[in-house]
């Protein structure tokens, strides 16, 4: 069996192209499994996985839990909001207490960039980053890559624009790493204040005019404005943002080609994307969510194969 070059999935930055290929290929098999009448395989019957969520989540949390259950793993869920973190317990103490219960793998979402790597260096379990602050969201980028490949057949040479709040987006950074490793061209589009100065060093194009960005791309990934991470005002109003960077049906239909619309969710309908675009037949937003389960099954399965049993 082919193996990943890493023992933990803390980010896309430290994956090779071969790792990404292996995850996407394995996910294709699991997508067939989850579309069968019996959607479950016994692969991880001897594995226990803890989902540690120190930040809110709908899609990622449910998707990981479903992926783990489809692989027949035992699953425990932890949410910081109703835990002893509220009494001052540290991340390491919380994790070590959970690991004492013989947990093999930890899936963690945390508000601090680097939290997953920090944990992976200190605990005797495989760690998967389910989003660490403004840093990386590797499984989102992998499911996005899988979804684009499913639509276009390949990522090689495809043009993807990521629109919106690039500065505060872990989805943007992980997507940039993943798409470039797989041979796609990446552009970011948004207000100057929401595009970090270092971004050009990553080899991405920068565009501040949404129409020009859409005319260039094959795929537009529309991001949410992350008001909860913004400590200052980056633009005058949501209304103004929406007028300049929001995608509506009129703009979409005025393009002389058919582009694919993506969004990692949660959507703020009427801000970065209107309902008629989100629900249009060019949108693959719900396919992304469906593919998330197969891609997470692949990540868990491949990392679990590195656990000594």
| Contacts to ligand CP by CB under 6 A | 57-61, 131, 137, 140, 264-266
User: What is the nearest approach in angstroms of ligand CP to the Cβ of residue 21?
Assistant: 23
In the complex with ligand CP, the residue whose CB is nearer, 111 or 265, is: 265
Q: Which residue pairs from 31-34 have beta carbons closer than 8 angstroms and sit at least 24 positions apart in sequence? A: 31/291, 31/294, 33/70, 33/294, 33/297, 34/70, 34/293, 34/294, 34/297
70 is catalytic: no
Choosing from 31, 137, 149, 296, which is the catalytic residue?
Answer: 137
Q: Which two tokens stand for residue 248?
A: 């509506």
Which of 8, 61, 70, 109 is an active site residue?
Answer: 109
- Whichever of 43 and 273 has its CB closer to ligand CP, that residue is 273
Closest distance to ligand CP from the beta carbon of 171 (Å): 7
| Shortest Å, Cβ 91 to ligand CP | 19
3-class SS of residue 45 = coil
Per this entry, what is the length of the chain? 309
Nearest approach, Cβ of 141 to ligand CP (angstroms)? 11
**59 noted as active-site residue:** yes
Residue (of 237, 247, 232) closest to 283 by Cα position: 247
Backbone φ and ψ for 260, nearest 5 degrees, come out as -95, 135
Active site residue 263: no
* Selected catalytic residue, list 87, 197, 233, 309: 87
Report, in Å, the least distance between residue 263 CB and ligand CP: 9
Shorter beta-carbon distance to ligand CP: residue 51 or 274: 51
Tokens of 148: 């684009």
Q: Which position among 48, 60, 134, 139 bears the catalytic label? A: 60
Give 116 or 185: the residue with its C-beta nearer to ligand CP: 116
Closest Cα to residue 49, out of 12, 16, 84, 77?
77
Burial class (CB in 10 A: 0-12, 13-18, 19+), 9: buried
CB 58, min distance to ligand CP, A: 4
Residue 139 is among the residues annotated as catalytic for this protein: no
Known active-site residue 109: yes
- Alpha-carbon distances, residue 268 vs 1, 179, 207 (angstroms): 42, 25, 22
* CA dihedral sign, ordered 262, 36, 64, 179: negative
d(CA 32, CA 217): 30
Long-range CB contacts for residues 204-211, cutoff 8 Å, separation at least 24: 204/176, 204/180, 207/161, 210/163, 210/244, 210/245, 210/247, 210/251, 211/251
Enzyme catalytic residues: 59-60, 87, 109, 137
């Amino acid at each position: 069996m082919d193996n990943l070059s890493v023992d933990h999935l803390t980010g896309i930055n430290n994956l090779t192209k071969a790792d990404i290929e292996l995850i996407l290929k394995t996910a294709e098999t699991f997508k067939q499994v989850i579309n069968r009448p019996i959607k479950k395989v016994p692969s991880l019957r001897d594995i226990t996985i803890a989902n540690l969520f120190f930040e809110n989540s709908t899609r990622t949390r449910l998707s990981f839990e479903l992926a783990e259950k489809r692989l027949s793993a035992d699953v425990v869920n932890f949410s910081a909001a109703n835990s002893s973190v509220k009494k001052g317990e540290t991340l390491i103490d919380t994790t070590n207490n959970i690991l004492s219960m013989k947990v093999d793998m930890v899936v963690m979402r945390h508000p601090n960039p680097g939290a997953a790597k920090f944990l992976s260096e200190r605990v005797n379990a495989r760690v998967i980053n389910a989003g660490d602050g403004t840093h990386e969201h590797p499984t989102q980028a992998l499911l996005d890559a899988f979804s684009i490949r499913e639509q276009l057949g390949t990522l090689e040479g495809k043009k993807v624009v990521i629109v919106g709040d690039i500065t505060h987006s872990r989805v943007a950074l992980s997507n940039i790493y993943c798409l470039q490793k797989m041979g796609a061209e990446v552009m970011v589009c948004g207000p100057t204040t929401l595009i970090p100065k270092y971004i050009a060093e990553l080899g991405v194009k920068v565009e501040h005019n949404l129409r020009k960005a859409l005319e260039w791309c094959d795929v537009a990934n529309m991001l949410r404005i992350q008001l909860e991470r913004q400590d200052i005002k980056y633009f005058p109003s949501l209304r103004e943002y929406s007028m300049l960077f929001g995608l509506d049906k009129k703009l979409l239909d005025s393009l002389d080609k058919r582009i694919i619309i993506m969004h990692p969710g949660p959507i703020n309908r009427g801000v970065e994307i209107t309902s008629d675009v989100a629900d249009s037949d060019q949108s693959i937003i719900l396919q992304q969510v469906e593919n998330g389960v197969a891609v997470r099954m692949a990540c868990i399965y491949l990392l679990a194969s590195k656990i000594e049993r």
